[in-house]
Structure 1
């Protein structure tokens, strides 16, 4: 069954199939080449925002830098549906951290000659152009470096199927000439041939009329002055190498303006499902950024809800055993399910499954049994194990700690027949632990060390003691199983990876946020 998330609440999910593929990535039909990744980037933001979300760590000890005040948003119109901006020259600390992280991976190190004090734009150019016969004819120093600034923004306007691009440029004449050389290498059908110049930016659009109109409309009202945009980026705080923004209305229209073939799009259940989810969510707008903190990349999303949202308590996932390899914590689950049961029930039945059938088949009482299991805080712990050594369920170190009534949990386990299959309930009257492995259940009940003290956990999960939900996966704990069938070159690029963590919580002013980190040794 498919469960729709309660308004403003994010149940922990497996780390993105990105920020790194985007969380909740939707599989779609074949796409036509557009010459930019703007639609993919904004689609990723849309899917993230759909989840609601619950949180961000305390502000990082880094310089606050609201790029919207001086970036490409200053020369793009306020009516854009979605916006993304790349900063090729982030503050020194972030640039250094980015380079150090990238150089931990041999495959990346061999392809990109990144250095902490080098010209990131030039290094990326060399990597991008070395396999292109056409681009080899472009001289970086004369044709690119002489005018290229540090920022590039991409936006989609209402009714347009191609983006508008704003490239920071220090010299208009050289920028036009350099852009034309680059554009000559694009053999696609969606080339941006219209060029205009405004306030230090070269603006490219599908036609000259589109470029001129974008400039004129921005002078009448720029995106940087749009109220929702300003508020979202203020909440976002420090921005990194990539920033994203979109309004709900914009995301709905972008999903309808998909670049896939119209006939295929009309027959695509995934496309229709995305549109429906966006339309039904109480999202107003959202902003996101990819930045570096303590040597590791993190993706932060802040989404503004149109409804009042709140959550009670935080998850005590950090109290799980210190050698927990996979952890999931959900606080306030029973309360959230109670407030949103009608919405969840509708979502289930929209998929063709009746709740009454689930109750009959599984011998459950809904939503009461689910509320009992979720309780005030539900924490799942999986210890490290060798998949090849598992002979049966009892060998799996998996247990669930709950803040709920033990007697009710025992009744559910007995009634559903799970007890007859080996599932045991132990622990205190108001703090039961459910599991098949008695040894691991005992460790979860009385851990000799805590996950909150583990170095990998602390690096991957932002302020878990303040989060309503947490997902943690220690990649290092399963490195042997992950790399078992890999080649030596593949293994050396997986070896540096350490852990992935996602934490979330509700912020003030009806903002929900999600922070994801990927760490490497």
Structure 2
């Protein structure tokens, strides 16, 4: 992911404190030269906290107490902030209880992180072990004043230029102790900090800090109409949340914002590509939160100029066999591809050249025996799925199938071409793929047996694993599902015993994307048994 140099990693600067740069009446911020090897310390701290939030082998999210409430870091970020993320180790009581329920399902977490563990200390100790924060004593210099929340934002214009400045907000429980300890902390990390309300706001230079403080006085991100609206529509903040204004960032970063969301199709974000190669328009808000013993990454996009094509939903995934191990269904895939083809063609031509693209398209048409892209639109139809059922009875046949309500004649041509290609690569095992009709659908599979299973089987949507993992499958345009427990059983001989023991707590992974006009919602859910 490419980003401008100053966006996520402040440059090394040796700037002396300047009282003249601080607004009248404000406390003089503390700033020290960044020591050798200190580049990116601020972001290392953020990364450490995010790493704690992410549940990995032996890692977990547990909270000290059940309280929640209080000021959020967006209350000390300027209203001009274009990107923002926060981690909340003191969320609502329900989130804390659900987090504990989630963690306790993993054997590897037993005894390593207790209910009363101080995650702030865990993070600081991890940074110290990495050779950072030298000379800092957590119990003496940090614990007495550091709260449970942290926010980081990208703020343009803080130093008079359009380049965004990284701003970090650390929750403060005791202002006096924080102001007494911050000079030592900035001496170890470089930068400048100033206590505003319930947070210590930090940047890498005094001049930038003064600009941030001044901008915040004119209006905060919390009071921003777009931010407040987007976060309200997103719902519960959970333990971590982020927000990004692609429209503003695209102009400031010269299209570099496209790198931030390049892996997310514009149609999923309700955004349109810009001439600079960035996202263009639209805003996205994301939250990591718990729902009972399950973990969900939820997102909401708005302000885009494009939307999903077609009227169908991806509910046909529910009709797949109940023992399906993994599947993804895209509704209106043909219409969606048709709507996005001009931009795809433009992108291909920019990478390969106009003539090369034209020649390549002609060669593909000859090889497949179809007209591109029109026949491809027809083949995809309004209900297109890919399903995986594991291995056959002798553990040698791969159970993979494509299911579509598209043009059967085109699907036959594609299957024949694919079979010929497979035969040329592996003559002993190649051959035409199997096609089987299943009502208004056509099943294309590697084997006759799995084609029959798909055509005659059903019930995936009625399984408990699917219902818990997939949100609003009947309304979504894209739905995906992975039966983690089923995969562990099917491939038990391939998974090391210690990994299988810890992964055994997981049930399934599901995702869904629902679009409506210029906005969309997406959900990625990891469920436990």
Conserved? CA contact 1:34–1:162, under 8 Å: no
Residues of 2 paired with 1:429 and 1:256: CA distance? 50
Question: How high is the TM-score relative to the length of structure 2?
Answer: 0.73
3-state DSSP of counterpart to 1:96: helix
Change (3 A) 1:402 1:149: same
Cα-to-partner distance string for 1:143-190 (whole Å, 9 max, x where unaligned) = 44433333221112225575211122132221123444444554xxxx
In 1: Cα distance, 2:395 partner to 2:460 partner: 25
Aligned residue number for residue 516 of structure 1: 524
- Residues 245-266 of structure 1, C-alpha deviation per residue, up to 9 Å, x if partnerless? 11114544786799xxxxxxxx
Q: What is the CA–CA distance in structure 1 between the aligned matches of 2:193 and 2:114, rounded to whole Å? A: 32
Residues 1:74 and 2:52 are matched in the alignment: no
Structure 2 match to 1:293: 291
Between the aligned partners of 2:489 and 2:253, the Cα distance in structure 1 is 40
Asked whether the 8 Å contact 2:286–2:298 carries over to 1, the reply is yes
Deviation at 1:223? 1.5
Residue 425 of structure 1 and its aligned partner are, at CA, apart by 1.7
Using the alignment, how far apart are the partners of 2:394 and 2:40 within structure 1? 46
1:215-269 Cα shifts (integer Å, max 9, x gaps): 11111121122232222212211111111111114544786799xxxxxxxxxx9
Contact 2:325 2:390 in 1 (8 A): yes
Rounded to whole Å, the distance in 2 between the matches of 1:139 and 1:36 is: 17
Q: Is the 8 A contact 1:282 1:307 kept in 2?
A: no
Written as runs of structure 1 = structure 2, the 5 A alignment for 1:56-455 is: 70-111=71-112, 113-115=113-115, 118=116, 120-121=118-119, 124-125=122-123, 128=126, 131=129, 143-158=141-156, 159=162, 163-186=166-189, 191-192=190-191, 194-249=192-247, 251-252=249-250, 279-311=277-309, 312-315=311-314, 316-352=316-352, 353-354=357-358, 355-385=361-391, 389-390=395-396, 395-414=397-416, 421-428=431-438, 430-447=440-457, 449-455=458-464
Contact 2:146 / 2:178 at 8 angstroms: preserved in 1? Answer: yes
- The alignment's C-alpha RMSD in Å is 3.9
- Given candidates 498, 501, 504, the residue that maps to 1:492 is 501
Confirm or deny: 8 A CA contact 1:323 1:384 kept in the other structure.
Answer: no
Provide Cα deviations, 1:284-320, integer angstroms capped at 9, x if missing partner: 2211111111312111121224314244121111111
**Aligned partners of 1:121, 1:297: CA distance in 2, in Å?**
19
In 2, Cα distance between equivalents of 1:78 and 1:318: 44
On the 8 A contact 1:283/1:303 being kept in 2, the answer is no
Larger Rg: 2
The one-character-per-residue Cα deviations of 1:455-480 (angstroms, maximum 9, x if unpaired) are 22222211212211112122222326
**Equivalents in 2 of 1:416, 1:257: separation in Å?**
38
Instruction: Name the stretch that deviates more: 491-500 or 481-490.
Output: 481-490
Distance 2:96 2:336 in 1: 40
- In the alignment, is the contact (CA less than 8 A) between 1:282 and 1:305 conserved in 2? no
CA spacing shift, 1:270–1:251, aligned 2, 3 Å: closer
Could you say what secondary structure the match of 1:334 adopts? helix
Q: CA deviation at 1:501?
A: 1.5
- 1:129: how far off? 6.8
Give unpaired runs (5+ residues) of structure 1: 1-24, 45-64, 259-268
- TM-score normalised per structure 1: 0.74
**Inter-partner Cα distance in structure 2 for 1:291 and 1:26:** 28
Tell me, yes or no, if structure 1 residue 464 matches structure 2 residue 463. no
> Structure 1 491/404 Cα, relative in aligned 2: closer, same or farther at 3 Å?
closer
* Residue pair 1:433, 1:444 contacting (<8 A) in 2 also: yes
Task: Tell me the secondary structure at the aligned position of residue 325 of structure 2.
Answer: strand
Q: Residue 379 of structure 1 contacts residue 402 of structure 1 at CA under 8 Å; is this kept in 2?
A: yes
By how many angstroms is 1:503 displaced? 0.8
Q: Which has the higher contact order (CA 8 A, sep 6+)?
A: 1
Following superposition, the deviation at residue 39 of structure 1 comes to: 12
Looking at structure 2, the residues matched to 27 and 397 of structure 1 have their Cα atoms a distance apart, in angstroms, of 41
Contact 2:485 2:506 in 1 (8 A): yes
Contact 1:483 1:494 in 2 (8 A): no
Question: Any idea what SS the aligned residue of 1:157 has?
Answer: strand
* Native 8 Å contact 1:331 1:468 kept in 2: yes
Q: Tell whether the 8 Å contact from 1:167 to 1:201 is kept in structure 2 after alignment.
A: yes
**Alignment partners' CA distance in 2, 1:373 and 1:107:** 47
Consecutive unaligned residues in structure 2, runs of 5 or more: 10-38, 51-67, 157-161, 264-272, 424-430
Offset, 1:135: 6.7
Secondary structure of the structure 1 residue equivalent to 2:511: strand
